[in-house]
Amino acid sequence: MKFPLVSSKAFFQKAILLFAVLPLYTVSFAQEKEQNLVPNPSFEKHKNKSNIIKNAIPWQGDGTVDYYMAPEKTDTSKYKGAHTGTCFVGLRFQAKYKEYLFVQLTEPLKKGKTYSFKMYIRLVGCSTVTIKQLGVYFSDRPFEIGMTFDEEGLLDSAYTKGIPAAAGWIPIHGEYLSHGNEKFIIVGNFQPKMKDDFVRLKKWDLFELREAYYYIDDISIKKIKTEADSTALSKKIITKAAFSFPDSFSSGQIIEINDLKFENEGTALLKSSYKILDELVLALNNHPFMEIQINVYSDFEGKESLNKKLSKAKAKAVYDYLLAQSVINPMTYKGFGSSQPATPNDPVKNINKDKNSRVEFMVILQ
């Protein structure tokens, strides 16, 4: 089988890269009502019970792209099955074999307009390697074996350590500036030499097959509103955003998570805190290799032994919420009681209690 070639320039001098680190929350309101240009984006529509990709009309594939209408019996992950709905697809990558998934969009892209691309992927447990790059190519013509993928139409991930070998679904997303009339998308790996893109998951046996297998689901392409179109929406973002986290982080950085509330000064999170933590989930999903620690501190009132116990329980509540949202980052949590006040405690004037009772997350390793 002949595989397409991509110049090295296409991988090192791309005008626009697809990173899993782009913050979703900066554009989520603007895209809320935009139409998804990908037909059958979750692969739920199908003609019969066949497991070939052509059954998920109008999708097609190059190679033996698998189509699933139910979880695989061999998939023991707690995330088994589709990201949403019941159907999804699988792409296989070997040293001398790779698969592509492609479809015609519901309408051509418009020149000079910016579009947001997103899909969810999950590495299957039987994989012996992971890959660094998995993305999408925007084309003005249908897929052909041996076609060239130039940098102008390519959005690609850039995981130097390999796309995370985690059990959960990972969002891959980014922005694309259209050169006009792109009618098709092709999903896959665009490296000319597949084996150069492999990252080992464990020590290889001499005769072990080196293969990465990824489930794919929920593919979307939506036009991003221009500044003029979204002036009113921008105002809504300012008033609705509960909390924002920075786009980049550094080891040792400490960020206070403001306005987290617990029930009756207990250890259970109030629902009003979910929106704030959901912003943290987005930030962590955009930095899946970052290791963090959740720290909780209390004010000076009460016995210190009880303060430490309660602060640790609150830290665990935050930790448990992040785990429940499928965060894959390495995480730990600690409760410090009142031993490390942000400002001096003053029990006489009864001040600084709110400043010292706080929740922080610390970047252990970026």
Q: What residue ranges do the domains of the chain occupy?
A: 9-223, 242-365
DSSP SS3 for 219? strand
Check pLDDT > 60 for residue 72.
yes
Residue 146 phi, psi dihedral angles, 5° rounding: 90, 0
| Cα gap 107→60, rounded to integer Å | 17
Segment 30-50 mean pLDDT:
85
Assess whether the previous peptide bond of 58 is cis (omega < 30° from 0).
yes
> DSSP assignment of 57-70, as one string?
TT-EEES--EEESS
Residue 346 has pLDDT above 70, yes or no: no
Helix, strand or coil, per DSSP, at residue 362: strand
pLDDT at residue 126 tops 90:
no
Neighbouring residues of 262: CB distance < 8 A, sequence distance ≥ 6: 268, 269, 270, 273, 314, 317
Q: Mean pLDDT throughout 243-254?
A: 81
- Residue of 57, 48, 56, 133 whose CA lies nearest to 90: 56
pLDDT value of position 88: 98
According to CATH, the topology of domain 9-223 is: Jelly Rolls (2.60.120)
Q: What is the tens place of the pLDDT at every residue in 147-190?
A: 999 888 998 876 777 887 665 788 888 889 999 999 999 999 99
Amino acid 239: pLDDT: 28
Q: How far apart are CA 135 and CA 144, in angstroms?
A: 17
CATH class of 242-365: alpha beta
Q: H helices within the chain, ranges in order?
A: 9-12, 231-240, 274-285, 304-324, 353-356
Smallest CA-to-CA distance from 40 within 102, 99, 90, 100 is with 102
Q: What is the pLDDT of residues 256-290, one digit of tens each?
A: 988 888 887 678 999 888 888 988 988 888 788 78
The structure's pTM equals 0.60
Average pLDDT, the chain: 81
